[in-house]
Amino acid sequence: MIRLAGVSKRFGQVEALRQLDLEIRSGEWLGVFGHNGSGKTTLIRTIVGLSKPSSGQLTLDGKSPTQKDWRIFRRKLGFMPERVSFYEHLTGAQTLRFFCRLRGLDDKVVAPMLERVGLAQAAGRKIGGYSKGMRQRLNLAQALLGDPEILILDEPIEGLDPRGVRDFFQLLRSGATGTVVMSSHRLSEVCDQVDRACVLVDGESKALGSVDEICESLALPVTVYLYPTQPFNGTLRAALSDLGASSVLQRTDVLVVEVSQRNKTVFLMGLHAHRQAIRHVRVQEPSMERAFFDIP
Amino acid sequence: MISRDAVLSIVGKELGDGLRNRWIWTVSALIATSVLAIAFFGAAPVGVTGRQGGGVVIASLVNLAVYLVPLLALLLGCGAVIDEKQRGTLDLILVYPISLGEYFSGAFLGFALALTIAIAVGFGVSGIVLMSWFEIEVGAYLGLAGLAVALGVVFLSLSFLVSIAARDRSRAVVSLVFVWIFSVFVFDLLLLGLLVVSGGELPAALFSTLLLMNPTDVFRLLCFKWISGVASPLGLTTAMPFVPSTLLLGVALLAWGALPLIVSYSLFRHRVANETLT
């Protein structure tokens, strides 16, 4: 549906996006990850049509969009920008009514939406008195108005506490929206929620695929935590190396072992022979965060 | 296809914002009190004191409108578009199914309505008092108020242009103060200087053309032509027998309203497309 082919975006001397190829598939949840300044917001702005590629092509449903196509696309689009200061003198309900009319929706959807995002009690209060979390929920509410088919969210969980993040994803899941694109630099909280991830480094897509695919392609090792029954001795440590551990780190009461994906099964089976010496085993697959740091 | 709901939504929002602007009501109140002060305590700008006749009062009000109405419009329009951009709401609005033209026309209409209401209140409140104390022709007073609204729309149009061209709000405000000073004070001084330097020999056609270059002069001349009884107190009949025709003045005022607006819309499109509207 949305496809970027060789898209680059330049701001003077700065190249914010470089030769980006990306397809946003219908019904998928795509996470766009990267450090600050990696090009996430530029990519999001390009997808919603606020930014035009310097080179390359963006297509909507297979064709280069005209103004009319953008308008049709935007009827089914919800957008949550990273930085927005709503009108302080308006109440939450008045704000949503304003955006509701822009979308051509009936005002009746405002009250249920405020209820849905947990702002029903504050509907009549001016936004000037809203907390950061409440503003973020209002921002999400305007994006969710009319349950758009596609949601584009720029750093949606920025500034939210863990409970706020949980509530945010619950809200998102409760809607009818099929396709979601969200940018974030908080990998641990977002990568479990998305079907695919695109990792941007200096405007370049360094990895694209499911979290498992990305980790696999990077051949990241599995981390195995071994808790011994007895105080450590050199025997177990030496045995672990023989079983294929690529590194063994000794901490106070645990051995942290790294094993390649290829050797993982053999290694874990081999531990059986040392079961008397091991009280507990914890296996940790490589995280997206680890992948993020290991991407060249 | 134009989305009427979307345009009306923008109009309503901008109208509400405009009417919340305290400066607008300060200037509106200033208009009302100045109108009354001039009427009751003397028409100082035309050199007459004491309770005045209708023509003298209207003539004084024309001069008052030249100072205050552009100020009102500039105060209202100085943050047009740029405030939305700095707040981040412009980007959000433009991702809704609304065209740049719909947004722009809605914003201008909203501001113009707020301006009209502020001028109507300023002239309306004082007008009621004036009508009961002076022999003022209702038509003449309403004509003046109508032309004041037109002058306000012209300066609103100019303020849109400056606001969109400026990098931020503070630069827009400074630029608009210069526009006001130039239009209200400096231009006429330059024109007088030119007359003096030329020994009063400036060709009539050139002088008329130069007058059309300043919207406040066009407004003054339109008042002179349209509103009966103000020509003499304004001192225009003797000094300027070569005043352009009413039609030409009307077209000039219309052009002063339309051209900056067309240019500002084109600049708005250009800056949005090039992402230079910061």
Band (B45; pLDDT cuts 50, 70, 90): low
The DSSP result for B108-154, as a single string, is: HHHHHHHHHHHHHHHHHHHHHHHHHHS---HHHHHHHHHHHHHHHHH
Rounded to the nearest angstrom, the minimum Cα separation between A47 and chain B is 10
Q: Work out the average pLDDT over A256-266.
A: 91
Which of A152-161, A185-194, B142-151 is the least confident region?
Answer: A185-194
Who's near B1: CB < 8 A, 6+ residues apart?
none
The span from the CA of A71 to the CA of B103, in Å, is 13
A-B contacts at Cβ under 8 angstroms: 65
* Residue B215 reports pLDDT greater than 60: yes
The span from the CA of B210 to the CA of B206, in Å, is 6
ipTM over the 0.95 cut-off? no
Tell me which H or E stretch contains A153. strand A150-154
CB-CB contact of A27 with A178 (8 Å) = yes
* Residue A7 reports pLDDT greater than 90: yes
A85 in contact with B, Cβ within 8 Å = yes
| pTM, two decimal places | 0.84
Who's near B145: CB < 8 A, 6+ residues apart?
B119, B120, B123, B124, B127
Say if the Cβ atoms of A84 and B94 lie within 8 Å.
Answer: no
Band (B64; pLDDT cuts 50, 70, 90): confident
**3-state SS class at A114:** helix
* Per-residue model confidence as pLDDT tens digits over B179-192: 999 999 999 899 88
Who's near A223: CB < 8 A, 6+ residues apart?
A256, A257, A258, A283, A284, A286
The type of residue at B226 is W
B266 in contact with A, Cβ within 8 Å = no
A99 in contact with B, Cβ within 8 Å = yes
Sheet containing A245-250: which strands, arranged edge to edge? A245-250, A255-259, A222-228, A278-284
What letter does residue A105 receive in the DSSP assignment?
-
Query: Which of A253, A249, A193 has the alpha carbon at shortest distance from A229?
Result: A253
The span from the CA of B24 to the CA of B20, in Å, is 8
Which chain A residues have a beta carbon less than 8 Å from that of B17? 87
Which chain A residues have a beta carbon less than 8 Å from that of B87? 84-87
What letter does residue A257 receive in the DSSP assignment?
E
The type of residue at A152 is I
Band (B42; pLDDT cuts 50, 70, 90): low
Sign of the Cα torsion B250, B15, A97, A139 reads: positive
Rounded to the nearest angstrom, the minimum Cα separation between A238 and chain B is 60
How many CA atoms within 13 Å lie on the side-chain side of B169?
Answer: 13
* Residue B149 reports pLDDT greater than 90: yes
Which of B9-23, B153-167, B178-192, B216-230 is the least confident region?
Answer: B216-230
Which of A32-36, A137-141, B44-48, B250-254 is the least confident region?
Answer: B44-48
Q: What pLDDT score does B46 carry?
A: 52
Say if the Cβ atoms of A51 and B273 lie within 8 Å.
Answer: no
The residue length of chain B stands at: 278
Tell me which H or E stretch contains B263. helix B246-273
Tell which B residues from 241 to 260 touch A, by Cβ distance under 8 Å: none
Which chain B residues have a beta carbon less than 8 Å from that of A103? 96-97
What mean pLDDT, rounded, does chain A reach? 90
B2 in contact with A, Cβ within 8 Å = no
**Nearest CB partner across the interface for B273, out of A52, A85, A142:** A52
Which chain B residues have a beta carbon less than 8 Å from that of A83? 88
Band (B237; pLDDT cuts 50, 70, 90): very low
Query: Which of B164, B174, B177, B153 has the alpha carbon at shortest distance from B73?
Result: B153
Which chain A residues have a beta carbon less than 8 Å from that of B9? 98, 101-102
CB-CB contact of A196 with A209 (8 Å) = yes
Band (A276; pLDDT cuts 50, 70, 90): confident
**Nearest CB partner across the interface for B3, out of A52, A77, A104:** A104
The span from the CA of A258 to the CA of A224, in Å, is 6
| Residue of A101, A136, A155 to mutate, testing the B interface (most B Cβ within 10 Å of its Cβ) | A101
| Residue of B95, B169, B277 to mutate, testing the A interface (most A Cβ within 10 Å of its Cβ) | B95
Highest mean pLDDT among A56-60, A230-234, B60-64, B240-244: A56-60
| B60-79 burial: b if 16+ Cβ within 10 Å, else e | bbbbbbbbbbbbbbbbbbbb
Say if the Cβ atoms of A74 and B96 lie within 8 Å.
Answer: yes
Pairwise pLDDT comparison (B235 vs A48), residue with the higher score: A48
What does the domain layout of chain B look like in residue ranges?
A: 4-273
Q: What pLDDT score does A275 carry?
A: 87
* Per-residue model confidence as pLDDT tens digits over A89-146: 999 999 999 999 999 899 999 999 999 999 999 999 999 999 988 998 999 999 999 9
Nearest CA in chain B to A42: B275
Rounded to the nearest angstrom, the minimum Cα separation between B203 and chain A is 51
**Nearest CB partner across the interface for A104, out of B5, B88, B275:** B5
The span from the CA of B70 to the CA of B183, in Å, is 9
A75 in contact with B, Cβ within 8 Å = yes
Q: Which residues partner with A32 through β-bridges?
A: A183, A198
